[in-house]
Amino acid sequence: MAETVKLTFEGETYEFPLVIGTEGEKAIDISKLRQTTGLITLDPGFVNTGSCVSAITFVDGEKGILRFRGYSIEELARYSSFREVAYLLIHNVLPTHEELQNFSILLNDQSMVHEDMQHFFETFPRGSHPMGILSAMVTALKSFYPYLQSAEEEMDRTVTRLLSKVRTMAAMSYKISIGHKVTYPRPDLSYCANFLNMMFDSPVKPYHIHKELVKALNVFWILHADHEQNCSTASVRVVGSGRVNLYAAISAGIAALWGPLHGGANQAVIEMLMDIKNDRGGLSRAVKRAKDRNDPFRLMGFGHRVYKSYDPRAKILKKMVDRVFTKLKISDPLLDIAKELEEIALQDDYFIDHNLYPNVDFYSGILLRAMGIPTNMFTVMFAIGRLPGWIAQWKEDADDPKWKLSRPRQIYAGPRKRKYVAIEKR
């Protein structure tokens, strides 16, 4: 007999199914709560609410565990490429050599952007934020590629079109923003190497593709590929539940990711480290302010809504930063400040008691700086990495036989019914 949870209200007892996930997570199925009791739940921020049953990503915030389709993030970051992880998230299996080759061919075939789209880029005002441009351009893709059939072959083409063209558009937007000639994708380069080349190659100064930076970019994008039902992923699912096309749903995810508390956090970390560097009070003053409840200042890159221990992605990224800086003999004072700040925080009772450990954003900005990525492109880099997860989540929701249009309830707290007063009597 299935387990249930009992609710007693106004002398009546109701039973609701207990749902248990494969990793032992438990949830009360309240889908019939209002129908049977007349009640709804109130959960600001949805911090205690499961919006779906998903087989894509598992997160255990207390133990610091992250897995994609059952594979640990540590193993994927160490052994896989971003292309493999993208395939895994979308197709639910790690690809064979043949499958990966076919996937790579599709990515290469779809890497070019329609020449007419360059005119769109050029009409955005100078200084426009790349995330706003990217969101608009992804929506525009529907106009250039209007036919989305249900056939698997067409779906693969649409998926790889997004994965490949968004990467190309991101590099293109950067080139146009600095007034440089656009660099086209090359069929002889891998996914990550192609992006770096499109970003930094120049007719007067050919770009040297360093294998350490290619590896670092693979790891960076793998770590960001999915993360359960976060703000942007939930947005993709909610918008997608209206049965909009994939492009529109992804555009919504990009817009949600734009915020400084979500995708923009890595940029905020760099800005914070710069402020600490330029502040006479330095680290000691920053730590003191962070612990002062009356001070609005906060240390960016510390703490996480889900993780109550050290973010497993941050551990991987810290090692990658050290590796890149050592191999390429890079020196950055912000890295020194970051390491010292982390050391202070990990030994301070305040940070330990409040579970304020470094998260993935703490070191990601420093790694992107080492690659030469400009600060205003940091969130775009996050978006490219998160694309496979968004696509997988959209597809899972679209294929769900128990699909429902997202429509949250609310508790109304406004005025009760009032009599309308004619304007001349007000």
Which DSSP string corresponds to 270-334?
HHHHHHHHH-TTHHHHHHHHHT-TT-----TTB--SS-SS--HHHHHHHHHHHHHHHHTT---HH
pLDDT grade for 120, boundaries at 50, 70 and 90: confident
Cα of first residue to Cα of last residue in the chain, in angstroms, is 64
Cα 271 to Cα 319: distance, rounded to the nearest angstrom: 22
Counting Cα atoms < 13 Å in the Cβ hemisphere of 170 gives 26
| Tokens 């330029």 -> residue | 278
Distances (CA, A) of 305 to 92, 219, 276, 357, 378: 27, 23, 25, 11, 21
353 is catalytic: no
Question: Which sequence spans correspond to the domains of the chain?
Answer: 4-65, 73-239+379-399, 265-371
Q: Which CATH class is domain 4-65?
A: mainly beta
pLDDT of residue 388: 97
Distances (CA, A) of 121 to 142, 160, 174: 16, 22, 10
pLDDT grade for 260, boundaries at 50, 70 and 90: confident
> How many residues make up the chain in this entry?
426
Q: Which fold has domain 265-371?
A: Cytochrome p450-Terp; domain 2 (1.10.230)
Write down the catalytic residue from 201, 226, 311, 361: 361
Average pLDDT over residues 83-93: 96
The structure's pTM equals 0.92
Instruction: Please list, residue by residue across 49-69, b when 16 or more beta carbons sit within 10 angstroms of its beta carbon and e when fewer do.
Output: eeebebebbbbbbeebbbbbb
CB 159 within 8 A of CB 90: yes
361 is catalytic: yes
| Residue 27 pLDDT greater than 90, yes or no | yes
Distances (CA, A) of 137 to 15, 81, 227, 256, 417: 48, 27, 24, 15, 45
| Tokens 């299996």 -> residue | 93
| Residue 1 pLDDT greater than 70, yes or no | no
What are the tens digits of pLDDT across the range 358-410? 889 889 999 999 999 999 899 999 999 999 999 999 999 999 999 999 999 99
What are the tens digits of pLDDT across the range 166-216? 999 999 988 888 888 889 999 999 999 999 999 999 999 999 999 999 999
> In which element (H, E) is residue 97 found?
helix 97-109
Report which of residues 115 and 383 the model is more confident about: 383
| Residue 38 pLDDT greater than 60, yes or no | yes
Contacts of 81 (CB under 8 A, 6+ apart): 190, 191, 192, 218
pLDDT of residue 21: 95
Kindly give the interhelix angle for 265-278 and 333-347, rounded to the nearest 10 degrees. Answer: 100
Cα 83 to Cα 196: distance, rounded to the nearest angstrom: 15
| Residue 96 pLDDT greater than 70, yes or no | yes
pLDDT grade for 345, boundaries at 50, 70 and 90: confident
Write down the catalytic residue from 224, 304, 311, 397: 304
Average pLDDT in the chain: 91
| Residue 69 falls in which region: left (phi positive, over 0), alpha (psi -120 to 50) or beta | left
Of 267, 251, 254, 348, residue with least CA distance to 301: 267
| Residue 146 pLDDT greater than 80, yes or no | no
C-alpha of 350 from chain center = 29
**Integer Rg of the chain from CA:** 24
What are the tens digits of pLDDT across the range 316-325? 999 999 999 9
Distances (CA, A) of 98 to 101, 105, 336, 338: 5, 11, 44, 43
Three-class DSSP category at 17: strand
Average pLDDT over residues 273-280: 87
Cα 181 to Cα 88: distance, rounded to the nearest angstrom: 35
pLDDT of residue 233: 97
Report which of residues 347 and 153 the model is more confident about: 347
Structure tokens belonging to residue 164: 């490949």
Contacts of 106 (CB under 8 A, 6+ apart): 156, 157, 160, 164
**The domain 73-239+379-399: what is its CATH number?**
1.10.580.10
Cα 263 to Cα 256: distance, rounded to the nearest angstrom: 8
pLDDT of residue 149: 53
pLDDT of residue 150: 53
